[in-house]
Amino acid sequence: MFSDYEFGYSWYITYGAAIPLVLGVALVVAARWCRWHAALTVAGGIVAAWSAIALYVLNVAWGLSLPMNPPTSRFLASGSGRVLDVGAGSGRAAVGILLVRPNATVVGVDIYSGYWGIDDNTPERFMRNARVAGAEGRAEARTGDMRALPFRDGEFDAAVSSYAIDHLGRADRAKAMAEVARVLKPRGQFLVLIVNPDWKTMLIAPPIAHHPHPDPARWRQQFEDAGFEIEEQGYRPVTLYFLARKKKARGVSALGLRTSSF
């Protein structure tokens, strides 16, 4: 459950279930000691068991306190390239990419202000986690707004946004996706992970379940509008993800007619 990484998610997200665990155990002990009705013992046991399972699933099975592997092996399948992590936060997605793609480099960009579920969200925390992974030399943290990325056109081979771009409103999200398309090379990949509060999320991690349910059709349209085509769509715990690829620019034929190269 514990690791050397410090991704900084607030305690109520990662360990909030410890509170009902303690209360459930206390109720069982008190009910047995005071010879209360057996139903109270059963109720306390159910609460304690649920809490223990929730803590294990969230922090171990789902690995919230560990680097996050990309949900698809098709992302940066070549194993190398320059990747932009948009809304990188403390680097959970970036570190996961650095570990599974040892010839890749990752630049994390985040506004690094305000509260987005991470305590002490700073570039220094991002770099500390890259150092723990032994990949500090392949990582860089930059401060910037995803709606106006501080990079040149076509700088990156791929980009990822894990539970970040989906926190924007529709108009701002369109700006951010257009910016990602701008800084990607032609045919560059864009992996987006979106909070998907399904029934498992509501059962295991209630603090995360307040997010709205994503509409896959709307997301697909926004990718299309920003100049991407979808290569893969799928689900993981708490997650709806899309793997998209930047379309090639339309060219101009010798006769002056615009032609599509995708």
Flag whether pLDDT at 261 surpasses 50: no
pLDDT score recorded for residue 14 = 81
Q: Nearest Cα to 67, choosing from 42, 98, 22?
A: 98
Angle at 152 between CA 149 and CA 154, to 5 degrees: 105
- Could you tell me how many helices (H) and strands (E) the chain has, helices first? 8, 9
Flag whether pLDDT at 236 surpasses 50: yes
pLDDT score recorded for residue 204 = 80
Q: pLDDT band at 58, cuts 50/70/90?
A: confident
CA distance 68 to 157: 20
Flag whether pLDDT at 251 surpasses 80: no
DSSP 8-state code for residue 162: E
Flag whether pLDDT at 110 surpasses 60: yes
Torsion of CA 236, 215, 245, 107, to 10 degrees: -70
Mean pLDDT of 22-30: 94
Q: pLDDT (tens digit, 9 = 90+) per residue, 76-94?
A: 999 999 999 999 999 999 9
Considering the entire predicted model, what is its pTM?
0.85
Residues making up the chain, counted from first to last: 262
pLDDT score recorded for residue 252 = 38
pLDDT score recorded for residue 255 = 41
The secondary structure of 98-128, three-state, reads HHHCCEEEEEEEECCCCCCCECCCCHHHHHH
What are the domain boundaries of the chain? 11-61, 80-248
Mean pLDDT of 245-249: 88
Q: Which of 13-22, 149-158, 250-259 has the lowest mean pLDDT?
A: 250-259
Flag whether pLDDT at 66 surpasses 60: yes
pLDDT score recorded for residue 57 = 87
The label of the residue with tokens 């459950």 reads 1
Flag whether pLDDT at 250 surpasses 70: no
Mean pLDDT of 85-107: 96
pLDDT score recorded for residue 260 = 34
Q: pLDDT (tens digit, 9 = 90+) per residue, 147-180?
A: 999 999 999 999 999 999 998 999 999 999 999 9
pLDDT score recorded for residue 83 = 98
Q: pLDDT band at 209, cuts 50/70/90?
A: low
Flag whether pLDDT at 222 surpasses 70: yes
Q: pLDDT band at 2, cuts 50/70/90?
A: low
pLDDT score recorded for residue 187 = 95
Q: Are strands 139-143 and 103-110 parallel, antiparallel or unpaired?
A: parallel
CATH topology of domain 80-248: Rossmann fold (3.40.50)
Residues of the chain with pLDDT > 90, as a percent, come to 69
